[in-house]
Amino acid sequence: MRKEGPMIVTVLSSLIVVFSAHFHLGKQLGIKDALDGWFLISICIALALGFVNLTAIHWKAIQRKREGWIFSVWLMIVMYGYAVLGLIQSHTGTQFNWIYQNIQAALSSAVFSLVAFFISSAAYRAFRIRTKEATVLMIFAVFVMLGRAPIGDAIWGQWSYWVNKIMAVPNMAGMRGILLGASIGAFATALRIMLGLERAHLGGTGTQ
């Protein structure tokens, strides 16, 4: 039952969702609503896995006094301190929210904005005019960037008009093609999982 049991669970749960999506009886019995609840509550509990994993990794770093272990100590203090504060106050508590808005949100947006500097230099290195395809990609990227900023229209009054045209015609067609290709791929993979041909989620060698 180490492999068969989980396989049965996969097939059954996927069949129930499909059944409740397409059959009147499935909708009437409200099985999907219950299954939605099961999914939500079990996934919420599993989210604590990240908490446990971080603790395990950084606890080892502290024990072995690895380079930068002092930051691991700091991480544990921050993580457990903030979690305890949240469990006492709930996520709407005054202090808990103050820390979220003034520290966590500020750090989060600063880290994401940091990517702006690296994405620009990485783009230069990756797409500098080596092939025709890379050239087209770069030209359209720069064209869209300038058209979306006020400087585009300041240079040429028609810039944002043509950017909108690019977004509505070739970009839309290309993106829709990519989306349909990916959706068909996802559908085929889902079918393989339901038929038991794809077993990567059970660990081991993956596909049969």
Partner 1 sequence: MNLSTNPGIWAQAICILAVYTYLYKDNPIWRFAETTYLGLATAYWFVFYFHNYIVVFVKDNVMQNGEWHYILAIILGLMIFFRYVPSLAWLARYPMSFWVGFGTGYVLGFAPAVWLTQVRTSFIALNSVENVLIVIGILATLTYFFFTIAKENPVVGGIAEVGKWYIMIALGSAFGNTVLYRWNLFLSRANTIIVDWLGVTP
62 near partner 1, judged by CB under 8 A:
no
Q: What's at 174, amino acid-wise?
A: G
Q: How far apart are CA 130 and CA 207, in angstroms?
A: 37
By C-beta, is 68 or 157 nearer to partner 1? 68
29 near partner 1, judged by CB under 8 A:
no
By C-beta, is 64 or 74 nearer to partner 1? 74
- Binders of partner 1 in range 184-203 (CB under 8 A): 184, 186-187, 189-191, 193-194, 201-203
Q: Kindly state the smallest distance separating residue 71's Cβ from partner 1, in Å.
A: 5
Q: Kindly state the smallest distance separating residue 28's Cβ from partner 1, in Å.
A: 16
Q: How far apart are CA 102 and CA 95, in angstroms?
A: 10
Q: How far apart are CA 100 and CA 90, in angstroms?
A: 12
Q: Kindly state the smallest distance separating residue 165's Cβ from partner 1, in Å.
A: 8
Q: Which of 83, 151, 155, 197 binds partner 1 (CB under 8 A)?
A: 83
99 near partner 1, judged by CB under 8 A:
yes
Name the burial class of residue 204, with classes exposed (0-12), middle (13-18) and buried (19+) by CB atoms within 10 angstroms of its CB: exposed
DSSP-derived secondary structure for 10-22: HHHHHHHHHHHHH
Q: Kindly state the smallest distance separating residue 127's Cβ from partner 1, in Å.
A: 8
Q: Kindly state the smallest distance separating residue 157's Cβ from partner 1, in Å.
A: 20
43-51: list long-range contacts, CB under 8 Å, 24+ apart: 51/79, 51/83
- Binders of partner 1 in range 106-165 (CB under 8 A): 106-117, 119-120, 123, 133, 136-145, 148-149, 165
- Binders of partner 1 in range 159-178 (CB under 8 A): 165-178
Q: What's at 50, amino acid-wise?
A: G
